[in-house]
């Protein structure tokens, strides 16, 4: 089924007219070449876990432990599919291996259509990934250790196609449980702690190799770099995936041959250390496929390691494979506000840059809550109107209250930071201001403060006196004033860039529809106006014509 949206009709008509004009200009073409191709039907991919491990059947009538396998559908189309669809589960392959119940998602109904088949029916598929149903799997009575089978999943819908999916179900497997470590959760900068990573295989089968995953935020460090670990680092996190060889027996406990060292660095503040253990296989292949950097040090080992190898299997309880530790380090970060100066006649549009820089030593990240770290509060100078503001900044009243009208220029703007601000980072904002009336020395206020107006303080900042700066328009008598020293804005994309999504610092201010000349402030610039595009085009054509005439005249004289 080919979908047709009324809003696309004018575009399609325009495209047809353009195509007709091109065909007439280019000459005769075959009908096959000119005929547009029919748009392909959307394709949806069914998915889920490649394999699910089940607890062995509990003899004696006890409650059977269930494992969950979520079956998903991924929409590749940009628009939501509004028709009815069905997803069919062929359960023939798990007869005698597993029993299954269905926990359908909202809007989906599942019903058996035979002893070994179930069909789930729903309406509408949103773009992206969504869950069709959760399969609640338990080992069947009489199933043995290592029994395995497959569930095949297919889909149908009018005007759409589905790629099938198969998931494997196996009775028994390892159950790797990570032990929680007794850290000091309130360290001081520079403090080191031992991290003797320890885990137990509480499953029914041995694990053939394990992958230890270490993930720590910017204020923490593990100085050891092992040769069997793959390291990746971004603005907020460092992740190490360490492949540890050996057979890890069911019922046995293992620890690292030498404990790790976890250090709170000079920039530590609110940090997280996550450590997990997984049976090798897909995790190991993922680590090998990434472009991670290998460590230069020794091999990370876990002891005791048995020589006997076992068949690879899947974890029975993936939820207990990981532990996390939160750290609150007594540290500070100096947020320094900066402003700008600009000058111009009445009607001119100027660009000013303002914001703040984190002079450290700490980085500030609210990783758990995701809350904003701070906000830049900008009061517009008198006699000026904002023509463009960075994305993410909201206009408020002069008192800082909410404004219903979000389109009209505001007298004051609040620009929140993301949930993390790196040391050396900050927020660099560009505002376009139209000078409606020249007022010598018109001053606007820039403040970096807490996210809430009722609690404007920054609890980590020891120097609140530099949290304010000024934006000055026409500071001198007819001359562009020399700005006072201000902290340099953070380098975009460099080591000091703020983590997460922040208001844009590269917004180009509009001309405000007045046709007045643009005059840039100290923070940015623009080329001087040289006339309208139409006038420039006419001048260029005239110059080209004159040049061609001179060339032809010279040729006639030579002949």
DSSP for 456-478 reads: ---TT-S-GGGSEEEEEES-SSS
Give the residue, 522 or 411, on which the prediction is more confident. Answer: 411
Give the tens place of pLDDT for each residue, 532-545.
334 333 434 444 44
| 420 contacts: CB under 8 Å, gap ≥ 6 | 218, 235, 236, 363, 364, 365, 366, 367, 373, 498, 499, 500
Average pLDDT of span 357-365: 98
Reference 334, options 451, 213, 421; nearest CA is: 421
Give the residue, 30 or 544, on which the prediction is more confident. Answer: 544
- Supply the pLDDT for residue 37: 36
- Supply the pLDDT for residue 518: 33
Average pLDDT of span 82-87: 93
Residue 348 has pLDDT above 60, yes or no: yes
Quote the strand ranges of 282-397, DSSP E.
293-294, 302-303, 322-328, 333-338, 340-342, 349-361, 364-365, 375-379, 384-388, 394-396
Token pair for 188: 């001081």
Average pLDDT of span 101-108: 85
Give the residue, 305 or 389, on which the prediction is more confident. Answer: 389
Residue 64 has pLDDT above 50, yes or no: yes
| 512 contacts: CB under 8 Å, gap ≥ 6 | 349, 385, 387, 432, 434
- Supply the pLDDT for residue 316: 54
Domains for the chain: give ranges and CATH numbers. 43-171 (2.60.40.1530), 176-328 (2.60.40), 333-536 (2.60.40.290)
- Distance between CA atoms of residues 13 and 10, nearest Å: 5
Report residue 22's pLDDT band, with 50, 70 and 90 as the boundaries: very low
Top-ranked range on mean pLDDT: pick from 20-29, 91-100, 476-485: 91-100
Residue 96 has pLDDT above 90, yes or no: yes
361 in Cβ contact with 189 (< 8 Å): yes
Report residue 293's pLDDT band, with 50, 70 and 90 as the boundaries: confident
- Distance between CA atoms of residues 20 and 210, nearest Å: 63
- Supply the pLDDT for residue 303: 86
Neighbour-count burial of 45, counting CB atoms closer than 10 A to its CB (0-12 exposed, 13-18 middle, 19+ buried): middle
Give the tens place of pLDDT for each residue, 161-183.
999 999 999 999 899 999 999 99
Residue 15 has pLDDT above 50, yes or no: no
Continuous H helices in 194-249: none
- With tokens 């005059």, the residue in question is 519
498 in Cβ contact with 427 (< 8 Å): yes
Average pLDDT of span 320-344: 96
Return the bridge partners of 232, or none: 239
Top-ranked range on mean pLDDT: pick from 413-422, 488-497, 533-542: 413-422
Q: pLDDT averaged over the chain? A: 79
pTM over 0.85: no
| 218 contacts: CB under 8 Å, gap ≥ 6 | 235, 236, 237, 238, 267, 271, 363, 365, 420, 422, 499
- Supply the pLDDT for residue 178: 94
Q: 40-44, 366-370, 390-394, 442-446: which range is least confident on average?
A: 40-44
- Supply the pLDDT for residue 229: 96
Give the residue, 307 or 451, on which the prediction is more confident. Answer: 451
- Distance between CA atoms of residues 367 and 371, nearest Å: 8
């Amino acid at each position: 089924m080919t979908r047709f949206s009324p809003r696309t009709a004018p575009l399609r008509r325009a495209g047809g007219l353009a195509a007709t004009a091109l065909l007439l200009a280019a000459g005769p073409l075959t009908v096959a070449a000119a005929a547009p191709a029919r748009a392909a039907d959307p394709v949806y991919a069914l998915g889920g876990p490649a394999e699910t491990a089940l607890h062995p059947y509990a003899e004696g009538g006890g409650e059977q432990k269930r494992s969950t396998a979520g079956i998903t559908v991924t929409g590749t189309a940009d628009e939501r599919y509004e028709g009815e669809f069905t997803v069919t589960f062929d359960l023939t392959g798990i007869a005698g291996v597993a029993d299954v119940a269905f926990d359908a998602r909202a809007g989906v109904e599942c019903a058996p259509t035979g002893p070994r088949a179930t069909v789930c029916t729903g309406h509408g598929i949103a773009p992206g990934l969504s869950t069709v149903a959760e399969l609640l799997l338990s080992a069947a009575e009489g199933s043995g250790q290592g029994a395995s089978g497959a569930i095949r999943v297919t889909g149908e819908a009018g005007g759409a196609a589905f790629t099938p999916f198969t998931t494997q179900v196996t009775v028994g497997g390892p159950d790797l449980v990570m032990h929680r470590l007794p850290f000091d959760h309130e360290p001081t900068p520079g403090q080191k702690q031992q991290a003797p990573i320890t885990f137990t295989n509480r499953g029914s089968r041995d694990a053939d190799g394990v992958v230890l995953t270490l993930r720590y935020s910017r204020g923490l460090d593990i100085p050891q770099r092992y040769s069997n670990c793959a390291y990746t680092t971004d603005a907020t996190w460092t992740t190490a995936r360490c492949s540890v060889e050996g057979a890890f027996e069911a019922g046995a406990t293992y620890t690292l041959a030498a404990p790790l060292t976890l250090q709170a660095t000079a920039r530590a503040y609110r940090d997280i250390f996550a450590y997990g253990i997984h049976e090798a296989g897909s995790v190991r292949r993922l680590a090998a496929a990434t472009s991670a950097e290998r460590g230069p040090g020794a091999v990370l080992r876990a002891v005791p390691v048995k020589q006997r190898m076992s068949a690879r299997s899947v974890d029975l309880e993936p939820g207990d494979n990981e532990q996390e530790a939160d750290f609150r380090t007594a540290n500070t970060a100096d947020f320094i506000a900066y402003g700008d100066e600009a000058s111009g006649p009445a009607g001119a549009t100027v660009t000013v840059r303002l914001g703040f820089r984190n002079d450290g030593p700490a980085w500030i990240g609210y990783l758990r809550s995701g809350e904003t770290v701070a906000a830049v509060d900008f009061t517009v100078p008198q006699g000026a109107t904002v023509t463009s503001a960075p994305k993410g900044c909201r206009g408020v009243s002069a008192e800082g209250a909410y404004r219903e009208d979000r389109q009209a220029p505001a007298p004051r703007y609040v620009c929140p930071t993301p949930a993390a601000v790196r040391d050396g980072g900050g927020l660099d904002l560009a505002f376009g201001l139209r000078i409606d009336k020249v007022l010598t020395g018109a001053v606007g206020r820039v403040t970096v403060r807490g996210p809430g107006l009722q609690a404007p303080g920054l609890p980590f900042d020891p120097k609140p006196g530099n949290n304010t700066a000024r934006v000055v328009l026409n500071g001198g008598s007819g001359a562009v004033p020399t700005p006072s020293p201000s902290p340099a804005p953070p380098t975009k994309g460099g080591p000091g860039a703020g983590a997460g999504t922040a208001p844009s610092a590269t917004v180009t201010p509009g001309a405000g529809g007045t046709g007045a000349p643009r005059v840039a402030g100290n923070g940015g610039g623009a080329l001087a106006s040289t006339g309208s595009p139409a006038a420039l085009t006419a001048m260029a054509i005239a110059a080209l014509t004159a040049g061609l005439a001179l060339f032809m005249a010279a040729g006639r004289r030579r002949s």
